[in-house]
Amino acid sequence: MNVELRHLRALAAIGREGTITGAAAVLHVTQPALSRTLDQLEGRLGTRLVERTTRRLELTEAGRRLWEHACRLLNQLDDALVEVRSGTRPLRVGFAWAAVGAFTVPLLQQWRDEHPDSPARIFRRDDPEAALRRAEVDVAFLRTQSPQESDFRAVVLFEERRMAAVADTDPLADADSVRLDSLADRPVALCATAATTTASLWPPERRPCTVEVANVDEWLALIATGDAVGVTAEGTQHSHPYPGIRYVPVLDADPVTVHLVWPRVPTHPETESFREHVRSVVGAVRPVGRGSA
């Protein structure tokens, strides 16, 4: 098909930026030149990859699949080139919300002390699983269902209690624990970057009014001002202490499972060592998924 790296870089930038203008600026090319490259790629593949609208570009289903593959291939190529020039890069650890809660700092400190020549860096991503697929990170901590494809391996690390997040002026702030029903009459803040809590946590007849916010900072501010309450994993109180917010255990909500996930074909030579390090620090429970460790 004679697809070249410039074609893949063009698609990767378009999918990431959402506009020809933004993608052209990132790639330092003109908009007409980038449009011609996209047209050429679509012509060589014989399928449409991008749907053009008046305001944005949307990837088609085929475009989205190729975009994900292109991002992974380009990231792996860039990593290989960096390694040739500068040696092995740091291990990239992805997470969406709270890493591994109270374990995070000792885990990273012990890794640094025991592996001084192999640094680990953490990266917050709205969707760490997608970042893993695109080879933007080498391992990821997930609080969602681990990937079931054979391309990935996963291990359950531990389970966390669910916590209610309430303003410190709220009557529930001084309670030893709460139940979901006691939160059902309040607006519940849901964060778009955290999939551990949805309205389905409550029974259908007692589902609360929900308010969706874009990120953790908006979630915390909405709760601290008393405009909403939240339900989250226990790790949040360690990673996101916040003035004006109290975290109270929820007695009748299922716990949240924390997984470590990595590619079956590792993207970093220290992946296996890091996995064993994590297990030794937090204590793995059992392997999960079709691609389990």
CATH architecture of 88-159+256-287: 3-Layer(aba) Sandwich (3.40)
* Intrachain domains 5-84 and 162-249 with the same fold: no
- Superfamily of domain covering 162-249: Periplasmic binding protein-like II (3.40.190.10)
Neighbours of 28 (CB within 10 A): 6
* Extended strands (E) in the chain: 50-52, 57-59, 91-95, 120-124, 139-142, 152-160, 162-167, 188-191, 210-213, 230-233, 245-249, 256-263, 286-287
d(CA 70, CA 73): 5
CATH C-level class of 5-84:
mainly alpha
Q: How far apart are CA 273 and CA 115, in angstroms?
A: 10
Per-domain residue ranges of the chain: 5-84, 88-159+256-287, 162-249
Distance of CA 221 to the CA centre of its chain: 21
Parallel, antiparallel or unpaired: strands 139-142 and 245-249: unpaired
Q: Which is nearest to 211 in space by CA: 198, 196, 225, 224?
A: 198
Strand 152-160: give its sheet, edge to edge: 120-124, 91-95, 139-142, 256-263, 152-160, 286-287
Instruction: Report which secondary-structure segment, H or E, holds 130.
Output: helix 128-133
| pLDDT at position 154 | 92
Question: Are 12 and 71 contacting, i.e. CB atoms less than 8 angstroms apart?
Answer: yes
Hey, which residues does 178 pair with through a beta bridge? 250
DSSP string, 108-122: HHHHHHH-TTS-EEE
CA distance 92 to 250: 33
**Cα 140 from Cα 88, distance rounded (Å):** 19
In this prediction, residue 54 carries a pLDDT of 64
Q: What value, to the nearest 5°, has the Cα angle with vertex 66 and ends 60 and 67?
A: 80
> How many Cα neighbours within 13 Å face the side chain of 15?
21
Low-confidence ranges of the chain (pLDDT < 70): 1, 54-55, 146-149, 284-293
